[in-house]
């Protein structure tokens, strides 16, 4: 069993272990410790059944069934199937998930603190996942901006990224936005938080899931959003996970920015995703 850093800024990889090894408490605790200290942890080529993935997730906390029932695994509702594949002319799962920089579910009051992905059918040439550390982003903020956002909160919303469904046909843009706001009312979160594992301050909020910083005018918000977008996407501070079959990736949702990249035309990609509540990061 060996551990190596993926980048100086985010991520660690554990090698030389299999599913049986992870049943040993000391091995699993080491893996979870990597998540806590490095935002995300990877084990490549880990053969897992859906039931085994759920079992691993319960070692972290409490797996949460995905909100949209039609995209749940048919035998394991805690697993969301992220897939562009078709079976019998029907989608296997939900396609084009998270193809923008975000922190998982920050538009909710109490987001699940962990996400676990298992690569079931993954191309190596496209459909990568990009990751960046929210602590590293905060560290690179100019001091002027650290001073300006100190003690402030931000309004988070899914309005910019809510998908349009069949029931929304005929609505005006204003009506659609109002419907989304009723279903997912904006929530307010502190803009700067402290990681209880590392003690580092981190930025909580990505422009695609934020409406505004409370107390900033439109120009200030636009300037701030442009700045953090640039910091998050700086290629020198991004880890690109190029998937191989059966990769397991686990991250802390609050401290990890991520974005999925496009899948090449004609190529199928299926990943099993589990959101995990509770655990060490429970509110």
Q: Is 56 exposed, middle or buried (0-12, 13-18, 19+ CB in 10 A)?
A: buried
Are the C-beta atoms of residues 45 and 247 closer than 8 Å to each other?
yes
**What per-residue confidence (pLDDT) applies to 217?**
97
* Percentages (nearest 5) of helix, strand, coil residues in the chain: 30, 30, 45
**What per-residue confidence (pLDDT) applies to 209?**
93
Measured at the CA of 55, the angle between CA 51 and CA 60, to 5 degrees, comes to 145
Give the pLDDT confidence of 165-182 residue by residue, as tens digits.
555 565 555 665 666 666
Give the pLDDT confidence of 27-45 residue by residue, as tens digits.
999 999 999 999 999 999 9
* pTM, two decimal places: 0.91
**What per-residue confidence (pLDDT) applies to 166?**
54
Q: Which of 79, 1, 73 is nearest to 43 (CA)?
A: 1
**What per-residue confidence (pLDDT) applies to 158?**
80
Residue 47 has pLDDT above 90, yes or no: yes
Q: Which of 47, 187, 46, 42 is nearest to 115 (CA)?
A: 42
Q: Which of 280, 283, 278, 282 is nearest to 63 (CA)?
A: 278
Mean predicted confidence (pLDDT) in 18-23:
96
Cα 185 from Cα 32, distance rounded (Å): 33
CA–centroid distance for 96 within its chain: 14
**What per-residue confidence (pLDDT) applies to 122?**
95
- Mean pLDDT is lowest, of 12-16, 49-53, 161-165, for 161-165
Cα 91 from Cα 81, distance rounded (Å): 10
Cα 159 from Cα 199, distance rounded (Å): 32
Give the pLDDT confidence of 204-219 residue by residue, as tens digits.
999 999 999 999 999 9
Q: What is the 3-state secondary structure (H, E, C) of 251-277?
A: EECCCEEEEECCCCCCCCCEEEEEEEE
Mean predicted confidence (pLDDT) in 124-133:
95
**What per-residue confidence (pLDDT) applies to 175?**
66
Give the pLDDT confidence of 82-123 residue by residue, as tens digits.
998 888 888 888 887 778 999 998 988 999 999 999 999 999
Total residues found in the chain within this entry: 283
**What per-residue confidence (pLDDT) applies to 283?**
43
Are the C-beta atoms of residues 256 and 40 closer than 8 Å to each other?
yes
Cα 82 from Cα 74, distance rounded (Å): 13
Instruction: Give the rounded percent of residues in the chain with a pLDDT score beyond 70.
Output: 88
Measured at the CA of 109, the angle between CA 220 and CA 190, to 5 degrees, comes to 40
Residue 194 β-bridge partners: 201
Q: pLDDT class for 65, splitting at 50, 70, 90?
A: confident
Mean of all residue pLDDT scores within the chain: 90
**What per-residue confidence (pLDDT) applies to 172?**
59
Q: Which residue has the higher pLDDT, 158 or 167?
A: 158
Cα 198 from Cα 135, distance rounded (Å): 10
Residue 281 has pLDDT above 60, yes or no: no
């Amino acid at each position: 069993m060996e551990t190596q850093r993926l980048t100086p800024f985010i991520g660690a990889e554990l090698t030389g272990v299999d599913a049986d090894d992870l049943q040993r408490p000391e091995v699993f605790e080491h893996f979870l410790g990597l998540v806590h200290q490095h935002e995300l942890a990877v084990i490549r080529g880990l053969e897992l059944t859906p039931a085994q993935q759920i079992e691993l997730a319960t070692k972290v906390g409490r797996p949460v069934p995905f909100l949209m029932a039609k995209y749940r695994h048919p035998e394991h509702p805690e697993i969301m199937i992220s897939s562009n594949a078709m079976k019998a002319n029907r989608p296997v799962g939900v396609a084009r998930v998270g193809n923008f920089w975000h922190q998982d579910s920050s538009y909710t009051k109490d987001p699940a603190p962990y996400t676990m992905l298992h690569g079931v059918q993954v191309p190596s040439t496209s459909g990568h996942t990009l990751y960046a550390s929210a602590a590293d982003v905060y560290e690179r903020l100019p001091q002027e901006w650290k001073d300006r956002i100190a003690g402030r909160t931000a309004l988070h919303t899914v309005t910019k990224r809510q998908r349009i469904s069949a029931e929304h046909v005929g609505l005006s843009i204003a009506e659609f936005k109002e419907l989304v706001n009723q279903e997912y009312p904006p929530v307010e979160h502190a803009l700067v938080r402290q990681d209880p594992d590392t003690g580092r301050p981190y930025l909580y909020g990505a422009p695609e899931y934020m409406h505004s910083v409370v107390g900033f005018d439109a120009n200030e918000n636009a300037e701030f959003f442009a700045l953090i977008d640039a910091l998050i996407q700086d290629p020198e501070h991004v880890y690109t996970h190029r998937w191989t079959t059966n990769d397991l990736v686990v991250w802390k949702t609050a401290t990890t920015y991520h974005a999925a990249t496009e899948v090449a035309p004609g190529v199928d990609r299926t990943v099993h995703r589990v959101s995990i509540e509770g655990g060490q990061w429970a509110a």
